[in-house]
A and B are shown apart, each in its own frame.
Chain A
Amino acid sequence: MRRGRILGAGALVVALGFCGTGAWTYAQARTDEGLAFSRERDTALAEGRDRLTVLNSLDASTREHAAAGIRAWRDASTGPLRTELGRTTPAVGASARATVTEAALTALDTRAGTAKLIATVRVDVTPRGGGAATTDRKRLEAVLTRTGEDTWRVAALSAVPVAGAEENEDE
C-alpha cells in the first residue's frame, strides 16, 4: 500500500513535470522572435507580390476602367509613390496585365516596418482596340512599408537598369 502511494505521488510529479515542460516549450515557441520574423517575412513577400501585380497592370480600355485602375494603384501604394500616382490622370490606351514570375525580399526591418524586394514581372500589353499582345519582362526593386497589422504597401518602385543611372517608374 505504501508503495502504491509512492507510485501515485511519483506519477503525479512526473505528469506535472511533463505538463510544465510542455507549457514551457509552447510558450517558447509562441514568443520565439525568429519564428515571428519568419512569419512577417512571408507576409511582406506575399503582400509585395500582390501589390506589384496591381501596380504593373492597367485596364485602359475605357476611361472608367482606367480611373478604377489608377485608384487601385493608389490603394496599393503609400508615401512618395502614392503622391506621385495621384498626379496621374486616367486616359484610354493600351492595357497591361502583369504576372510576378519571381520575387524575393532582400531586407526586412520589423522594428521600422520597412522591407526591400526584388522581382521579375512579365507584362502582357494589349494595344487599344484589341490586337496581338506583346510580352515584356521587367526587373524591379521596391521598398515596402508596413501600413497595418499584416498590410504592406509599396513606398518606392523602380526598374533595375543595366549599368546605368537609376530611373523611377512613372506609369
Chain B
Amino acid sequence: MTRLLRRTTTARSTEPATDGGEAPEQPEETAVATTRTPAVATTRTPAVAAAEAPGDAAPEAPGGATTLVEGEPEATDGDAEVPVRSFPATWQKAALVSAVAALLLAGSAFFHGAHQLTSTSSARNHALTDAGATARVGGDVGEGLARIFSYTPASDDAVERSAGTVLAGRAARQYADLFAQVRAKLVEQRITLSTQTVRTGVIELDEDSARLLVFLDQTSRRDDARQDEPTATSAAAQLTVTAKFQGERWLIVDIKAR
C-alpha cells in the first residue's frame, strides 16, 4: 500500500521535470505503476524499502531519490522504457527551443519584408497618392508663382513684400537680386507683367518637401506714352520648383528654368 502511495507521489513530483504533455498521462502511469507494484515489490524490496524510508518522511522527494525509484521499476519492463523517459525531456526542450527560434526568425523575416515594401522610394513619394496634399502643394506653389511674377508699375513694393510670404532660401535670394536689377527698368518703361499658372504637376512629395513642374504663361504690356496702344508680348515659361512646408504654407525654395 505504501508502495502504491510512493509510486503516485513520485509520478506526480516528476511532472515538472518532464515539461509538456506528461500531465494527461499521469493517471495512466499511476495505473501502470499500480499494476506493476506487486511484481516489483517482491524483487526490489530491499532497495525500494531503503529508498522509501527517507521518501516517506518527505513527500517532496528530492530529484535523485525519485529517479532512483523511477528508474528501477521501469527497467523490469524493458530497456527501451528508460530512454523514452529521459530523452523526451531534452528532446522536448530542443523541439520547443527550435520552434520558438523558427517562429522568431519567421516573424523577423515578415517584419523585414514589410519594412522593405514600405520604405522604397516609390512608397516614400506621396505625389498623387495623397490627393489632398498634392492639390494643396500644387495650389500653393501655382498661386505663389503667379503672385511674385505679376506686377504693375505702381505695385512693385507690394510684390516685393509678398515675395517674402512665397519664397524662402535660395529662391528668395535669387529673386531679390533679379528684382533689384529689373526694378528700375520696369518702373521707367511702365511695364505690366501678368503671370498665370496653366499646368502644375507634382513630381515628388513627402511630409515637408516637394518638387513640381509648372507651366506659366507670361504676358508683358508696355504702357508707352509715346505709342497709342500698349504692346503686349506673351511668353511660355517652364519651371522646376522645389518647395518646403514651413509655417502652414508651402514656400518655394528653388526655381530652375526648363
Q: A: which residues have CB within 8 A of B? A: 1-2, 4-5, 8, 11-12, 15-16, 18-23, 25-26, 28-30, 32, 34-35, 37-39, 41-42, 101-108, 117-120, 137, 139, 141, 160-163
Contact = CB atoms under 8 A, between A and B. Distances in A.
Contacts of B125: 38, 41-42
Contact of A25 (B101, B111, B123): B111
B199 A29 contact: no
Interface of B: 15-17, 19-20, 93, 96, 99-101, 103-104, 106-111, 113-114, 117-118, 122-123, 125-129, 196, 198-203, 212-213, 215, 217, 219, 234-236, 238, 240, 258
Classify the secondary structure of B's interface with A.
Answer: mixed
Contact of A22 (B108, B198, B235): B108
Contacts of B234: 162-163
A19 B105 CA distance: 8
A28 B129 contact: no
B19 A26 contact: no
Contact of A102 (B96, B106, B238): B238
Contacts of B215: 118, 139, 160
A162 B128 contact: no
Given A26-B111, A29-B117, A104 B103 contact: no
Contact of A21 (B107, B127, B212, B235): B107
Contacts of B15: 1-2
B255 to A, nearest CB: 12
B200 A139 contact: no
B238 A19 contact: no
B20 A25 contact: no
Given A19-B107, A22-B108, A28-B114, A39 B122 contact: yes
A105 B127 contact: yes
A157 to B, nearest CB: 14
Given A42-B122, A104-B201, A118-B201, A29 B219 contact: no
Contacts of A16: 103
Can you list the 10 inter-chain pairs with the closest CB atoms, starting with the nearest? A1-B16, A104-B201, A22-B110, A22-B107, A15-B103, A19-B107, A120-B258, A5-B19, A18-B107, A29-B114
Nearest to A164: B234
A117 B103 CA distance: 47
7 contacts: A12-B96, A19-B104, A19-B110, A28-B114, A42-B125, A118-B213, A161-B236
A15 B213 contact: no
A163 B114 contact: no
A70 to B, nearest CB: 28
Given A4-B16, A160-B198, A160-B236, A104 B129 contact: no
A120 B201 CA distance: 12
A25 B114 CA distance: 6
Given A5-B16, A37-B128, A23 B110 contact: yes
A30 to B, nearest CB: 7
A20 B100 CA distance: 13
A19 B240 contact: no
A162 B129 CA distance: 30
Q: Determine which residue in A2, A104, A117, A120 has the highest number of CB atoms from chain B within 10 A of its CB, and name it.
A: A104
A19 B106 contact: yes
Contacts of B201: 103-106, 117-118
Nearest to B238: A120
Contacts of B113: 26, 29
B20 A5 contact: yes
A102 B240 contact: yes
Contact of B107 (A15, A102, A163): A15
Nearest to B258: A120
A160 B198 CA distance: 9
B111 A41 contact: no
A57 B246 CA distance: 42
